[in-house]
Structures are given as structure tokens and as C-alpha cells.
Structure 1
Amino acid sequence: MQQTLFYNFLNSGKTRQLAGRLLLHLLFWFAVAVFLVYFFGHFTADYRYTSVFVCLLMPIAIGTTYLINYFLIPRYLLQKRYPRFASYFIFTLIISVWGEMLVVLWALMKLADYRYSNMAPLTTNIFFLGVALYFIVFFSTSVKLLKHWYKSQQHISELRSTQLEAALKLREAELQLLRGQIHPHFLFNTLNNLYGLALEKSEYMPDAILRLSGLLDALLYRSHDQQVPLATELRLIEDYVSLEKLRFEERLKLEWNIQGAPEAYGIAPFLLFPFLENAFKHGFSENTAQLELLVEARLEQEQLFFRVVNSVDPAASTKAVQAGGIGLKNVKRRLELQYPHKHRLAIMPSPTHYQVVLQLTLSPINAKAYATQ
């Protein structure tokens, strides 16, 4: 059992990672030691002397480096405790210089037999030794800080990606909710219309059901698409208006004006519907003798200018007219989510008319691809 646990420990990912880091550090300090032995002994060719000298100097370099990298930096510098870091950092450098002086003194006594001329020239200069030592320390510290900065940037990037992904999921969930609210809102209004026609035993009932089936087909199979051809959206709106016109008959004066090439551009499905629903639900009254509705869509390259103007019953509540319905609130939110910085919506109520003007930047689409779906 113990052998199995020990074997699992040796073969664990953390153990291998730790062993790899340890080996990398050993190779680094071995390379530094070899370089210093060669560098200090280059002018005398007495590598035995410089080997012993470097072996005495290395603990100071290693101790200073690890004290700064693994204690002072994480505990004080990264915690933004700058005054303490500066004071401890300076104190560490002073202690390391003092250690260098002790190494030089010991080398003078034991290796050079108290003869200054027997020492390697480069090992007698305390300033040069300090520069060499601190170059090693600052190099390793720079690598440590650069590694920490890279990990921090990577963590920030991952955090931003996570936040962006969460925001996109939330945005998509909100869009699905707003799209889903089209179904009951539209069906409620249309079924009310059909109920009225049924009570009157109207001869237009079969035509109304046929138009409704086409609208429901689009509602079920197209409403969750990212976009549909603008021509399709306008045709569905025309069917909806025709369906409503069956209820109002000759009392509704309709003006329909389409300009441009709507088949070349795409739009979010059922985005324009709430403007017409709002006109029929909140603008028109059963008691009004004459009703007016203007629907205008003008396409100038990728810019769509859509306008709906409907008459308002003067006897209706001003507050109710200005507020509109839940459909308008939903379409405002959909515009913010699906067309940020690409739309302008103006709602202009008056005692006699209610006007909605939408300017929308559209994207070109392949109408033939949609036609084959």
C-alpha cells in the first residue's frame, strides 16, 4: 500500500512539474558557476583557485536571488507594499555585499596565503564582484517578474474571455426570451381578430385562417434565425396588416410604400412586427369611424428607413398612447442587443397620430440561399 502511494506520488503531474523546475534551476546555476570560473580565471589560467572562489560566492548569489524572488517580491512588491519592499531590498543587497567581502577576505587568507598578488585580478575588485553578482540577481528577478506579468496577462485574458462568454450566453438567453414573447403576444391579438370574425360569420374567415397559417409557419420555423431577407419580413408584415384589415374593413385607410431592393439585405426576424402590432392594439379603436395607417420602408444601400404612422382615437388616454405596448419595449431591447450602435429609433406621439421612425444598418445576404431553405 505504501509502495503504491509512493509510486503514485512520484508519477503525479505535480511531482514531475516540481522535478522539472528543480532540474531547470540546477542547470541554470551550474551554467552560471561554469561561466564565472572561466571568466575569473581567464587572465591567470588558475581555474582551481577560481573554482573554489566561485563555490564560496555561489551561495551568496543563490541566497540573494531566492530571497528576493520568492520572499520579497511576492510578499511585498506584488502586494504593493512598496516602502517595506524597498527597505528590505536595500538591506538584502547590503548583506550580500558584506558576504562578498568575507569571501574575498577568506580567499586572501586561505587561497592566496595572505599575498594579494596571488589572487585572480578580477576577484579582488569588490565593485566588479558586486556588479557581477547583481547582474545575475537582476537577470533572474527580471525573468521572474516577466513570467509573473505573462501569467497575470494570461489570467486577465482568460477572465475576460469567461466574462465575455457569460455575457454572450446571457445576451442570447435574453434574446430567446424576447423572441419567445413574440409568440403569445402575436397569437393573442390575432386570435382575438379571428374570434371577432367568427362571431360575425364573416366570409373573410377562410382567407384570414390561410394568412394566419403562413404567419405561424414563419413564426415557428424562422423566428429563431439570426436574420431573414428583408423582403420576407416586409411580406409577412403585409400579410399581418391584411389580416387586421379584414377586421376593420373599409374604415381602415392603408398606405403602403416600399422603395429599394429589400431582397438583398437581411434583418432579424419579426423585428418590425411590434410597430404594426402596437398600431392596431393601442392606436386604433373599434368606435373610430376612420382609421389611417402609413407603412413606409425605404432602403438606401445598407440603410433602412422604416416608418409607421397610425391615427389615434382622440378620446383615448394620452398616457396609454404615449406608453405603447410591451411589444415596443421588447423591440427596443432587441435593437440594443442585435444592432448596437447600428440603429436609431424615434417615437413621436401626438393627440391625433402615433409615429415610429427606425433607421437601421443592415448586412447584405444571399437571398437565393434563404430561398432554398
Structure 2
Amino acid sequence: MKKVNLQKWLFPSLLTLVAPLGIAAQDEVTADQVVTAIEGTFGVTPGERRNHTKGVCALGEFVGSPEAASYSRSALFSGKPIPVVARFSLAGGNPKAPDTTKSARGMALEFKLPDGGVQHMTMLNTPVFGAMQPKTFLDMMIATKPDPATGKPDPEKIKEFKATHPDSLAQADFLARNNPPASFATSAYFGIHTFKFINRTNKTSLVRWRFVPQDGEKRLTDEQLKSLPANFLEYALIERTRLGPVRWNMLVSIGEPGDPENNPTLAWPENRKQIKAGTLTISSAMPQKDAACEKINYDPLVMADGIAPTNDPILLFRSPAYAISFAKRLGGM
């Protein structure tokens, strides 16, 4: 397929988001730099995502709660079933990454709203992210790039990265202490960032959300980490949905003054008021090739009225980075 430069005409506004949204001058990083660094670390699979390359598609619906509707006027919380196109994935750009890898797992959702609009939610199974600023993520990709001589990352570079980037440690510690989920269906997924809910009287509430599986959270045992095949997560989710619907409760924490608003590496106190905002039901799953989720760019800044972003530098940066990856995919690159 002929390679075309779709970035300039598909996403001109997204590619200029970084500078005007307050990232410090000494920390300015371009989306193209980050995507290029990801490609340098993992290589390129033409026509595929640069990050979270390995994944599986799913379909279902979401039903919001009346309590959530008192905080947000979004049609997402109308109480009516909202169709959902979901994608579950492994972090990283290796399409052949073993499913036992101690990396993050992702759940991305596109809600198809009654007025023709859409709402995206792009989440991880870690309660915090591994970078406070885009520069940290860029430096992590550079530090973990395999050494041509060994085919593996240089341990000294990783050690230096950790020593100079304390904002990377909380997520890394979580992944080190917790084995990966036994199934996509038995993992919680966190929105990572702080968002704004806006109600019908224009009252704004700071919120963080997570999706908690009704099947319960289950992790792989140490023995399973050693014995399971490289590819089991896709099959397990497909088979689980054949047995019946898989459900998650959407839980929303309501922020209080002083809670971290623009730093996804810091968790909120556990005693924050929490509401059940709705139920996600996944009714079927399928390989991603030619399925509904394959061509979706799960940009987390695609939001419906009633939900808005904060000035979190990582949240705002994800949009232009996703745009570049998406444009390359569409161009067959």
C-alpha cells in the first residue's frame, strides 16, 4: 500500500496541542518524538498500533446510573443502554508479546451515544501511570531500547532512568508486586487521569473512575507465569463471553480540594466519596483483525458534553500521540 502523510490534513489541531496547554518549556516533547521512540524500542508492525499493539475486540453496552446523572449531564448516564465497541490489550508495541509479561493491560471503550456522538475511555489495569510529564515517557522508551549487541535493554540505562525519574516508580512498583490478570475479564481498569463531570446546573466535580469486574479480580499464580502459553488472553475472553455476558461496575470517586488533579502518578485517598456510575456488559469478543475496534483511534480526549479533561499534561499529550500513530496505521506504515 502506498504510504501517505495523513497527519497534516487529518489531525492539524491535535498535533498542535502540546505547546499551548502548559507543558513547561524545559520539558517540551513532541508527539512525533514519542511515537518514534516507541518504534525504536519495539520496532514497527506496518498498519498496526505503535503501542498496545496486541489486543482483542469486543462488543457490548453500558447503562448509566441516576446517581451519576446528578454529577454529569452526559448522555452516557441517561439510564438507557449505550452500545460499546471495546478493545482489550497489552502495553507495548510487540504484537507477539507473551500474555504472561508483567506489563500493563488496557481496556479502551467507545460509547456510541444516541445523538450520534461518541465518548471514549482509555484505561489501564494499574491505579497510577508511569509518568507525570511526557518527557518521562520519552526517556523511558529511550532507556529501554534494546542494545543492538545483546538484543536486550541495557540494565545500566534502566537503572539511571529510575534514579532520575522518580515519577516512574509507583506504576513500576505496582507491576512488579502484582502478577498480570488471569483474564481480561478478571481485571479492574483505571481511568488513570482526573476528569471533570459537569451537571445540568453547570456544577463541576473532579472525578476519577475505574471499572471493577463482577467476576472478581484474579491474577496469575507464579506457577502459571512459568507454564502458560504465550497467547491465551484472547481465547480466554472469547470463550468467557460464549458462556455469558461479562460485566464491570463503573465506580467514580469524587475529588476534594487538594486532591492531585494534573498528576496521574499519584493516587487519591481511598476514603473519597464513591458512586456506582453504571454497568458495562461485554456480550461478545473476537480477534481484532477486521473487527469493529481495529480501526478506532481510542483518543481519550473524545468526550461528550458533560465530561471534560483537566490540564493533566499526560492526558493532553496522549491525543496528538494517538493521532500520529493512527495516521501511520491508515497509511499502511
TM range (shorter): under 0.3
Whichever structure has more strand as a proportion of its residues is 2
TM-score by length of 2: 0.22
Whichever structure has more helix as a proportion of its residues is 1
Bigger-Rg structure (1/2): 1
TM-score by length of 1: 0.20
